[in-house]
Amino acid sequence: MEWRLVSHLERKKIRTGDSFFKNTSEIMPPFAVEETDGAVWLVRPAGDEERMLCVCYLSPDDLAESETWERLIKTADIALVDLARFSRNHPQIAPGIFLRAAGLSADYKNISEWRELGEFDDLTVELARQFDFPVSVLRLFNRLDKEQRRTWYDLWTVHNFKKNIIKEIIIDIYDLSENDRSEALSASLAIGEKYQAKSGVFPWEDVRSLVRRIRRPAIEETLQKIKDVKKKLNLPPGVSLELPPDLETRKIVLKLEFSAPDRLRSQIQSMSSPETLVLIANIMELI
């Protein structure tokens, strides 16, 4: 494996045997692949170097070694989804070579998911590069309407949605009907339009809650009632009340944090008041 730093103009002159690079476009994916006589050239923009390219020559022997791909994953920052696409286009290289390079076992499940990863369309590949979601999440996104996916993707990336929120939105959207998906997208875009006129952090949680209300209206209505009761609790400093996620269990967690006995006594006294006990009982009834 051999790396070289060249300019765009020099790139046109690089050859191996009698073959030139065929693609001289300056618009490239994270890495472009050129093949000559069984060997491969990987071409990447060279970071901040203006009009410069990193070029790596891989011999046929290099291609068959997991160590080669392990080094490339670490040094060239090649996304696994791009490697899976390369694997799809080079069936002569066993998938296990790439999987082991990525630190995965070459079992049936991983090989099946690896092949599926290489088949996703360009929009899903963009999402995978950006957020490195597991195949189970990418699969759901890939099955949605392409125009809606593009709109969602733009909303998420423009407003810097957190990865875990995007994941939950994808899972919830997939379970909606076509009409409900359109409703969720339109309402989410409306939140984005309102945000344009304001400053501060984009309300990602509002978008996630909106989609979830459409998917599970009864649960979301109950959660909102519980939040309203929690606000009335007026918990003392160092006391927190945690609700079960999605109301999956009827347990709530009460945490007390203190640094002195007097603080603990004050917390216990506050939590033992009749008003507080009634509100906690109301929360338990809602759960």
102-121 per-position pLDDT tens digit: 888 999 999 999 999 999 99
The burial class, CB within 10 Å (0-12 / 13-18 / 19+), for 33 is middle
Q: Torsion angle, CA of 97/102/106/111, rounded to 10 degrees?
A: -90
> Rounded to 5 degrees, what are φ and ψ at 195?
-65, -30
Model confidence at 150, pLDDT cuts 50, 70, 90, reads: very high
For residue 153 the two structure tokens come to 């993707």
- No. of H helices and E strands in the chain? 15, 8
202: nearest Cα among 261, 171, 156, 241: 156
Those residues with Cβ within 8 angstroms of residue 166's Cβ, 6 or more apart along the chain or in another chain: 131, 133, 156
Amino acid at 2: E
Q: Binning pLDDT at 50, 70 and 90, where does residue 49 land?
A: low
Q: Are 211 and 188 in contact (CB under 8 A)?
A: yes
Distance CA 85, CA 57 (A): 19
The dihedral of CA 130, 131, 136, 139: what is its sign?
Answer: negative
Specify the pLDDT at position 25: 43
Give the pLDDT of residue 116.
95
6 sits in which H/E element: strand 2-7
* pLDDT for the residue 256: 87
Mean pLDDT of the chain: 81
Residue (of 220, 196, 218, 199) closest to 208 by Cα position: 220
Average pLDDT, integer, range 68-77: 80
pLDDT digits (tens, 9 = 90+) for 19-42: 334 444 444 455 667 676 677 777
Ranges of each domain in the chain: 121-215, 224-286
Query: What's the mean pLDDT in 167-175?
Result: 92
**What pLDDT does residue 109 have?**
92
- Host H or E run for residue 126: helix 122-131
Q: Summarize pLDDT for 216-270 with one digit per residue, the tens.
A: 876 777 878 888 888 888 888 888 888 776 665 667 888 888 888 888 888 888 8
287 pLDDT more than 90 = no
Share of the chain above pLDDT 70, in %: 79
More confident residue, 82 or 22: 82
* Stated length of the chain: 287
- Report d(CA 201, CA 279) in Å as an integer: 31
User: Which pLDDT value is given to residue 23?
Assistant: 44
Query: 91 and 120 in contact (C-beta within 8 Å)?
Result: no
State residue 48's pLDDT score: 57
In sign, the C-alpha dihedral spanning 125, 131, 137, 141 is negative
